[in-house]
Structure 1
């Protein structure tokens, strides 16, 4: 997701950062006085907002609280989270609790090598109140985004990430060796949608950043052979294999998140060929799957800053499906649950060993174990940037320029009291988040047909003669808006189209008339760098 998606604009065309999430911030609050709150409300032993006094005269006579003071709201509830380490303000941090340590990852660690200054992706470890970034844990490659780290520190770790070739994303798996990370998988055009523990094996599922086949990858342990259901041969989910020059069926459910329940049931969540939400389910011991339609977790269409995840639920056969909203998979079906607060969207989440869900929204942190949400207060004035729960039940939060901790079997060595300065107010504005685009469909608010990928040597004013030839005389495409877009330094010729039917017709026209082309319809609104005004009657560029 990991999930949704490693985070992107036109996103997956360049790479899918399975998990890039938002970057909000924390701050310490004074302890609320339960006695004072109780006295103000007239309810012994309770804290809350004080109501109007109905015994003002008696209170005054007894020298009690004045009426105007009694109406003041109670102090905010005390937070159970404790700051344990400071975070450098300029680092974008993601949390990765593993056995034996809390690890963090950042895509923007500045390192000096000789006279050269570079920005590197690195993994750090919490130790004695500080985050240490040893050179051994620096991730090789360029513009790599870490989705997850799994295993035991310091001798048995697997790292899942998305890199880039400059043109497309790369699904990457590394295992930690004596000298650093050893790459085991590097699939161009793919990204890891998630990782699941299945028996003694660690299994990942890759999906295409734009086109390609999904596949299971056994990262550690005995190979797990599961079969992905292909789309119907006559359906809309058809890909084009340029090397074999043939069409093939993509997955019936194009994966956006992958995970497993406690009993080993594997789940892949995404969209089917019609653009509807669906989940593919592999029960323990079964290689073939069943596909279930599921409701949309949220009515919101945007995916920026949001991770799509599948997390173990409270029961053996249960799971949480997180995609802006939350579904609860239970008893072979998935049901939508109410959001943590009215209108709130879930940015990311993590599940405790007992299945308790910790969910981060734009404004607050919430927890849910049974049938109700509860807000988990953070130190006053801070907003969370990430949340993750370890195998010992410790809940870790990145907020306010610090790492906060609550619970857990063992206490991490924190910084000396008073040395951590929590940042009040809004967090630093995060860098641009990039979200892997969803496949286009009838329900997409803006379908984009990606027609052509620029080569690195193509001039800025390239006018696409083959595409113009294919569209000459095709005035039915006049409602389309042809543009040059840019994403992560890569340029594309694309067309915004007003309807799904017109998008499909344009895709098919280019596939048929421009040999070797692989246009794709995605649901995205990328940066536009140039308008291409085509006269469809003549096939020329309008002046």
Structure 2
């Protein structure tokens, strides 16, 4: 159904890559306890209204002189009334994801500070009597667990999928809610859930590799679904690597997974050619059909845009959301126009009647049939998240509040007039912080991540083993060696001007520095220090 973009940034990516291969040595190959980074609706027209008022005044003056009653200046039309009602207040700085399930509206967040001053790394809350409560039973175990989706019935039958971390690698996690709290059923290192689909009587998730490896189907409930992943070809290049591939790979590296209403499963992601592709499993078939996917938008999708596959209005239809929107129908994906000119779709949710609700640059839109319609929010607040329940209720997080429209019954909301909506942009999503993508020939800036710093490594550490391995290797002179920082973690890395040079540097360090497993990512992290190396001598230039 959805894939929430991973939250852990460059550090999490590099760490996650280590989970895909052999475990690195516990001590750094190049420094005191420094571990190898093997994971390594638009303006109202004020000027036009003023012009009309001026013209009307002039006409009125002439009319008055001639004894004719002057026309009044036209009154600007009031903004359209919103159908959404605020039902609960939340602190504006909290980044909430909405998860309507049978019997409740649940929310998830990370880095929660309770009124008692307790800091909770990851928590699930529930809407109750006009308030969002975060009972201890719904606190998630582990450190910085980002919820991807919640499915089922509250409070006795819930499945939750998330991306967690051990501090070294990302983990695809599946929890069920027990009497005392969340119980972990699945924990797969080096993977992250890209979505969940209902297929017959089964609830199935697809976990994709953070960087390298083969995706994996995980049956969460019901009979096992025996679908097969299409392997990458062995005799031709795939995503910038020459054949044979240095590790097992799939033809499509998934970024979102979902299904149509008739049970057709869809995986959307990066094909071997580097272009987007769709892997389609029709009902009753174990093998998949591969389809090329036309570009949704020009350029890169915004960092905070989610990648989603949602059920469409018809039995064999689906929406594919990735900055723009594709309509999968009749076995073909077709791009549709954005909700507003130049707007990027940041997130979306599909209603039972087939309506697609989407947020584009803070505004809410609904697509019914072949056209988008603006859905104004109270006081013009900016939307942060939208989710539609099985009863048709549309929930929106906006203006430091939870808003609601429709559904089987009225929400048990706060007393009228007690909620204060807050203007301004919604908080940047921490749970959706993107992972830098894999490096490759089309990446504008390849970065070879060489090592992580340990907590005890000095700030001016100069990596003697790396310098020894590079001594005399002047072909790497175009590289810029730097210390970078992401979420408080420091890394030794190198910006390189080409994919070929990045691969050569990766292989050199991997071969000559024992225990190292450098990785190539497409990223431009914060640089805290340049390490100027004289590659002729292997010394640091002072």
Asked whether the two chains share a fold, i.e. TM above 0.5, the reply is yes
In structure 2, do the counterparts of structure 1 residues 454 and 382 end up closer, same or farther at CA, with 3 Å as the change threshold? same
C-alpha displacement of 1:459? 4.3
| Residue 83 of structure 1: aligned partner | 86
Distance in structure 2 (CA, Å) of the matches to 1:274 and 1:450: 24
Q: State the SS of the aligned residue for 1:380.
A: helix
Distance in structure 1 (CA, Å) of the matches to 2:464 and 2:334: 50
| Residue 201 of structure 1: aligned partner | 202
C-alpha displacement of 1:307? 1.0
Matching of residues 159-170 of structure 1 within 5 Å = 159-170=160-171
Matching of residues 22-37 of structure 1 within 5 Å = none
Is the 1:161–1:172 Cα contact (8 Å) retained in structure 2? yes
In structure 2, do the counterparts of structure 1 residues 287 and 458 end up closer, same or farther at CA, with 3 Å as the change threshold? farther
| Residue 387 of structure 2: aligned partner | 388
C-alpha displacement of 1:192? 0.9
C-alpha displacement of 1:218? 0.8
| Residue 450 of structure 1: aligned partner | 449
C-alpha displacement of 1:377? 0.8
Q: State the SS of the aligned residue for 1:417.
A: coil
| Residue 242 of structure 1: aligned partner | none
Distance in structure 1 (CA, Å) of the matches to 2:16 and 2:419: 36
| Residue 12 of structure 1: aligned partner | 13
Distance in structure 2 (CA, Å) of the matches to 1:473 and 1:422: 63
Distance in structure 2 (CA, Å) of the matches to 1:3 and 1:310: 8
Distance in structure 2 (CA, Å) of the matches to 1:226 and 1:50: 67
Is 2:135 the partner of 1:138?
A: no
Distance in structure 1 (CA, Å) of the matches to 2:254 and 2:172: 14
Distance in structure 1 (CA, Å) of the matches to 2:262 and 2:102: 21
Is the 1:4–1:436 Cα contact (8 Å) retained in structure 2? no
In structure 2, do the counterparts of structure 1 residues 471 and 354 end up closer, same or farther at CA, with 3 Å as the change threshold? farther
Per-residue CA deviations over 1:362-393 (Å, capped at 9, x if unaligned) read 23111113222211111123111111111111
| Residue 217 of structure 1: aligned partner | 218
| Residue 23 of structure 1: aligned partner | none
Matching of residues 470-485 of structure 1 within 5 Å = 470-485=469-484
| Residue 326 of structure 1: aligned partner | 325
Is the 1:238–1:247 Cα contact (8 Å) retained in structure 2? no
When structure 1 is superposed on structure 2, of 428-437 and 273-282 the one drifting more is 428-437
| Residue 282 of structure 2: aligned partner | 283
Is the 1:387–1:396 Cα contact (8 Å) retained in structure 2? yes
In structure 2, do the counterparts of structure 1 residues 135 and 541 end up closer, same or farther at CA, with 3 Å as the change threshold? same
| Structure 2, unpaired ranges of 5+ | 18-43
Matching of residues 282-361 of structure 1 within 5 Å = 282-301=281-300, 303-361=302-360
1:97 aligns with one of 92, 100, 110 = 100
Per-residue CA deviations over 1:111-131 (Å, capped at 9, x if unaligned) read 489xx9432321111122111
| Residue 250 of structure 2: aligned partner | 251
C-alpha displacement of 1:405? 0.6
C-alpha displacement of 1:428? 5.1
Matching of residues 416-435 of structure 1 within 5 Å = 416-427=415-426, 434-435=433-434
TM-score by length of structure 2 reads: 0.85
In structure 2, do the counterparts of structure 1 residues 302 and 508 end up closer, same or farther at CA, with 3 Å as the change threshold? farther
In structure 2, do the counterparts of structure 1 residues 156 and 65 end up closer, same or farther at CA, with 3 Å as the change threshold? farther
C-alpha displacement of 1:515? 5.2
Q: State the SS of the aligned residue for 1:207.
A: strand
Is the 2:382–2:425 Cα contact (8 Å) retained in structure 1? yes
Is the 1:237–1:249 Cα contact (8 Å) retained in structure 2? no
C-alpha displacement of 1:424? 2.6
Per-residue CA deviations over 1:186-236 (Å, capped at 9, x if unaligned) read 222221111111111111111222334321111111111221122222434
Distance in structure 2 (CA, Å) of the matches to 1:51 and 1:94: 48
TM-score by length of structure 1 reads: 0.84
| Residue 20 of structure 2: aligned partner | none
Distance in structure 2 (CA, Å) of the matches to 1:457 and 1:105: 34
C-alpha displacement of 1:507? 3.2
Q: State the SS of the aligned residue for 1:504.
A: helix
Distance in structure 2 (CA, Å) of the matches to 1:51 and 1:200: 67
Distance in structure 1 (CA, Å) of the matches to 2:150 and 2:196: 10
Is the 2:232–2:251 Cα contact (8 Å) retained in structure 1? yes
Aligned length: 503
C-alpha displacement of 1:282? 1.2
| Residue 109 of structure 2: aligned partner | 106
Q: State the SS of the aligned residue for 1:468.
A: helix
Per-residue CA deviations over 1:350-369 (Å, capped at 9, x if unaligned) read 11112221111223111113
Distance in structure 1 (CA, Å) of the matches to 2:467 and 2:421: 57
| Residue 399 of structure 1: aligned partner | 398
Distance in structure 2 (CA, Å) of the matches to 1:466 and 1:232: 37
Q: State the SS of the aligned residue for 2:9.
A: coil
| Residue 532 of structure 1: aligned partner | 531
In structure 2, do the counterparts of structure 1 residues 54 and 203 end up closer, same or farther at CA, with 3 Å as the change threshold? farther
| Residue 494 of structure 1: aligned partner | 493
C-alpha displacement of 1:250? 1.5
C-alpha displacement of 1:412? 1.6
In structure 2, do the counterparts of structure 1 residues 185 and 432 end up closer, same or farther at CA, with 3 Å as the change threshold? closer
Distance in structure 2 (CA, Å) of the matches to 1:264 and 1:408: 25
Is the 1:300–1:324 Cα contact (8 Å) retained in structure 2? no
Is 2:6 the partner of 1:3?
A: no
| Residue 38 of structure 1: aligned partner | none
When structure 1 is superposed on structure 2, of 298-307 and 131-140 the one drifting more is 298-307
Distance in structure 1 (CA, Å) of the matches to 2:234 and 2:248: 6
RMSD: 3.1
C-alpha displacement of 1:449? 2.2
In structure 2, do the counterparts of structure 1 residues 517 and 226 end up closer, same or farther at CA, with 3 Å as the change threshold? farther
Is the 1:4–1:306 Cα contact (8 Å) retained in structure 2? no
